[in-house]
Amino acid sequence: MTEKPSTVDIADTISKLMYGIAGWLLIGLGVLALLSGAGGVIQTAGTAEMVVPLLLLGFAFVFVSLGVFVNPRFRHRLNRRCGISRFGRHKTVDSRVLSATENRRESCVSCDSSLTEGLVRRYRNELVLAGIPVWTRSENRNFYCPDCAVEQTLTHDVGDGDHDYREQTTLEAE
């Protein structure tokens, strides 16, 4: 028997949808202001006439910036950013706690026992431009039972020389 989603889950889903719509509308408005401001800069010759196109370009920057920060998809990518001088492939490891309230049944990768709570470790291989993940090339998850999770966190070496891993611990559900 499947459980009904809670009102909090429904409210979170609607909130993400509304923030996404608001973000894309702001980005669209910013692109429109950018096009009109750039067209106005190209067409005007005098300095007195440049005020309105430059003002439009300023609004374009503000609208696009707000749209990126409001949109949940962009916000998640910005939260996973690394150094601004980083370009190319970047491997990351995120860990979070799997609780029994999520009603998931997985098997532990170390001891192959069935588990409903433990540790979830997510491995990502991403393409990064100026420190911001642009494209996720691959993503895998490993699940560990509580006993193996303690063992893994004590013995897991994040920087093994061949890979540049950045480990983050997150408590939010994926």
For 17-56, what is each residue's pLDDT tens digit?
999 999 999 999 999 999 998 888 888 767 777 888 889 9
Q: Report if residue 66 sits inside a domain.
A: yes
Same domain, 66 and 108: no
Q: Please, are residues 171 and 101 in contact by the beta-carbon 8 Å criterion?
A: no
Q: Please, are residues 155 and 83 in contact by the beta-carbon 8 Å criterion?
A: no
Residue 61's contacts (CB-CB under 8 Å, 6 or more residues apart) are 30
Q: Report if residue 144 sits inside a domain.
A: yes
Same domain, 27 and 92: no
Same domain, 92 and 155: yes
Question: Which residue, 79, 111, 127, sits at the end of a domain?
Answer: 79
Same domain, 114 and 143: yes
Same domain, 60 and 119: no
| Per-residue pLDDT at 91 exceeds 60 | yes
Question: Which residue, 37, 54, 79, sits at the end of a domain?
Answer: 79
Question: Which residue, 51, 79, 107, sits at the end of a domain?
Answer: 79
Helix pair 72-79, 7-43: axis angle to 10 deg: 90
| Per-residue pLDDT at 162 exceeds 70 | no
CA angle 52, 58, 61 (to 5 degrees): 145
Q: Please, are residues 121 and 155 in contact by the beta-carbon 8 Å criterion?
A: no
Q: Report if residue 1 sits inside a domain.
A: no
Same domain, 51 and 113: no
Q: What is the mean pLDDT of the chain?
A: 81
Same domain, 125 and 164: yes
Cβ density class 68-90: b for 16+ within 10 Å, e for less: bebbeebeebeebebeeebeeeb
Residues spanned by the domain of 127: 88-169
Query: Against a cut of 0.75, is the pTM above it?
Result: no
Q: What's the mean pLDDT in 90-111?
A: 85
Residue 104 has a pLDDT of 82
Q: Report if residue 36 sits inside a domain.
A: yes
Query: What would the two tokens of residue 119 be?
Result: 């540790």
Q: Please, are residues 93 and 123 in contact by the beta-carbon 8 Å criterion?
A: yes
Q: Sheet harboring 118-129: ordered strands across?
A: 132-144, 118-129, 88-98, 167-169
Q: Please, which pLDDT band fits residue 2 given cuts at 50, 70 and 90?
A: low
| Per-residue pLDDT at 137 exceeds 90 | no
Q: Please, which pLDDT band fits residue 57 given cuts at 50, 70 and 90?
A: very high
Q: Report if residue 32 sits inside a domain.
A: yes
Q: Report if residue 21 sits inside a domain.
A: yes
